[in-house]
Amino acid sequence: MTATTSSQLKSTKEQEDWMEAQGPFEGPEKLLELWFAEGPEELFCTSTSSHPAKAQTQGQGQLRRLGLKGVPREQWEEMLDIVKCKVLSVIESDEVDAYLLSESSMFVFPHKLILKTCGTTTLLLGLERLLEIAFSALSPLLPHLTTKLPRPKSASRSEESTGDPSLQRALGSLVSRCFYSRKSFMFPERQKGPHRDWMTEVATLDAFFTNGSAYTVGKMNGDHWLLYMAADQAQGEAGARLRLRPPPPVALTQGMQQGHAKQAVQDQTLEILMTSLSPASCARYYFADDSSAASGGDAADVAGLETSTQTTTTSKGQRLGVALASQLGLTNLFAETHVDAFAFEPCGFSANAVVLNPNSSNISGNGAEGRMDGYWTIHITPEEGSSYASFETNVVPTTSSTSGALTNAAADERPQDLTSLINHVISTFEPGKMSITLFVSNEMHAEREVGEADAEERTADAAAAAWQGNSSVLHKLQIKGYQRTDRIAYEFERYDLVFVSFEKVVG
């Protein structure tokens, strides 16, 4: 695990260029998740197929520079310039690079990317450049990316978009899964580009994807959540049907080749979006210029990370951020967690974490075993009248996943299931209102023949069933001191979604 940092924005003017200097800050983020392959094993097998002997000698750490993780940081920064945000620091594991941004976060896996930006950033204006970068990185690894992209001769890569429909369609065809979502904005009139209006955002995405579907989840006259989904052509449309009951605990994928079981993708994402934070909670995220806490954290607490040769010291914002993350108990939220955090002056806080999987990076010529390293990310805007906090993770514990003896007192305090994780987050940020969404993949291994699935597949299917059980848990969730104001469940082609909202009981 390594960490690199950027020197802080060099002048007040530059800082104002990239961060909202006047008026209330828009906390709710725009969230884009793009999958280019079902898993890193697809990339690894292709990269070693012509060198089978090499595959036997490449084990731990082989994913470090594979696929999207092999893209130089400078190329990502070029794309982020279009989005209007900057890289503050990066922590890296073998399987994911976590970029802490001036406005939220980016997570880069070998085969997928997650970009989350807040404020008045123009995330979708960077989509074309993002896809071009992905094409360059992945075309040598995935056979279906061999088509030459159309490119007008006059195109400049400093431009936000060429506006060329044939190029945008070709780039969109590279994506196997696209998810774009956001909470309803607090200050929609302050947004820029396509983000001024949801249907304009949908039209921008439709320019790339031929089979996208847009949804409004929740009350139009209250808190609601907006979602756009697109699948690759082979999967057909991402249509869904509204469900008023929890999704079933088991779902089997269809259409697999007879006599062979396809590796099912186990994927879930939990988002907790909170507003009207308590005054006491907001006060934790205001930082005076002479804050003594800025030196209260050990620089080595940047998760015990090995600092790269690019930077030998951490910034004041990082030291203060990591110290606060430790005080809030975030550094111990999950086992084997490496945290990067930043405190903004005069207020605001962001943190990324990479949650190491002890079974990850187990690569052979036959693919990868075990799930990938996970992540969580937190962002807080504590301004009075528009306070907001978000928590997102793809590490959602289940009762079965936490069985076994815990070895120390710190482990005893970690969330043991979905309910305890949600309660931990709520007690940390003390929101007046919140919405919670949980996406869970509903794919499992198809049986070769009845009763003949091997032990590895049965174990994976049991884990998938436990994950899907989290959907039912969230659907039934009750939180002390809060009343539920909405509850909706969707069943999509490959995912189940549960959305619930709560409001604090007054008095």
Looking at the domain assignment, is residue 97 inside a domain?
A: yes
Q: How far is it, in rounded angstroms, from Cα 193 to Cα 16?
A: 19
CB burial of 316-355 (b: ≥16 within 10 Å; e: otherwise) equals bbbbbbbbbbbebebbebbeebbbbbbbbeebbbbbbbbb
Looking at the domain assignment, is residue 428 inside a domain?
A: no
Q: Reply yes or no on whether the pLDDT at 152 is more than 60.
A: no
Looking at the domain assignment, is residue 240 inside a domain?
A: no
**Could you tell me if residue 61 is left (phi over 0), alpha (psi between -120 and 50 degrees) or otherwise beta?**
left
Tokens of 443: 């794919």
Mean pLDDT of 367-372: 48
Question: From start to end of 450-494, where are the E strands?
Answer: 482-491
Tokens of 442: 């509903």
Q: Range with the lowest mean pLDDT among 77-81, 117-121, 320-324, 453-457?
A: 453-457
Tell me which residue has tokens 């080595």.
Answer: 300
Looking at the domain assignment, is residue 140 inside a domain?
A: yes
Tokens of 5: 């940092």
DSSP label at residue 398: -
Q: State the residue range of the domain holding 139.
A: 25-41+65-148+163-235
Please give the residue that has the higher pLDDT: either 125 or 293.
125
pLDDT of residue 195: 95
**Average of per-residue pLDDT values in the chain:** 76
Q: Reply yes or no on whether the pLDDT at 485 is more than 70.
A: yes
pLDDT of residue 171: 92
Please give the residue that has the higher pLDDT: either 427 or 301.
427
| Active site amino acids | 26, 29, 104, 118, 350, 379
pLDDT 10s digits, 376-419 = 999 999 998 899 999 999 998 765 444 333 334 445 578 888 99
pLDDT 10s digits, 442-459 = 865 344 444 545 555 555
Q: Is 455 exposed, middle or buried (0-12, 13-18, 19+ CB in 10 A)?
A: exposed
Looking at the domain assignment, is residue 10 inside a domain?
A: no
Instruction: For residue 179, give the 3-state DSSP assignment.
Output: strand
Q: What share of the chain is helix, strand, coil (3-state, %, to 5)?
A: 30, 25, 45
Looking at the domain assignment, is residue 94 inside a domain?
A: yes
CB burial of 79-101 (b: ≥16 within 10 Å; e: otherwise) equals bbebbbbbbbbbbbbbbbbbbbb
Instruction: For residue 419, give the 3-state DSSP assignment.
Output: helix
Q: What angle do CA 88, 94, 99 make, to 5 degrees?
A: 15
CB 131 within 8 A of CB 68: no
pLDDT of residue 339: 95
Q: How far is it, in rounded angstroms, from Cα 297 to Cα 90?
A: 19
CA-CA-CA-CA torsion sign (58, 62, 68, 71): negative
pLDDT of residue 48: 47
Q: How far is it, in rounded angstroms, from Cα 500 to Cα 488?
A: 6
- Give bridge partners of residue 286 from the DSSP assignment: 347
CB 503 within 8 A of CB 432: yes
Looking at the domain assignment, is residue 271 inside a domain?
A: no
Tokens of 55: 């595959």
User: Which helix (DSSP H) or strand (DSSP E) does residue 455 occupy?
Assistant: helix 455-475
Model-wide pTM > 0.75: yes
Going by C-beta distance under 8 Å and a sequence separation of 6 or more, which residues neighbour residue 174? 36, 131, 134, 135, 138, 145
State the total domains in the chain. 1
Among candidate residues 85, 106, 76, 87, the one with its CA nearest the CA of residue 4? 87
Question: From start to end of 163-320, where are the E strands?
Answer: 177-183, 213-218, 224-231, 241-243, 268-275, 306-307
Task: Find the CATH number of the domain harbouring 117.
Answer: 3.60.90.10
Q: How far is it, in rounded angstroms, from Cα 228 to Cα 32?
A: 9
pLDDT bracket for residue 470 (50, 70, 90): confident
pLDDT of residue 432: 96
pLDDT 10s digits, 180-189 = 999 988 888 8
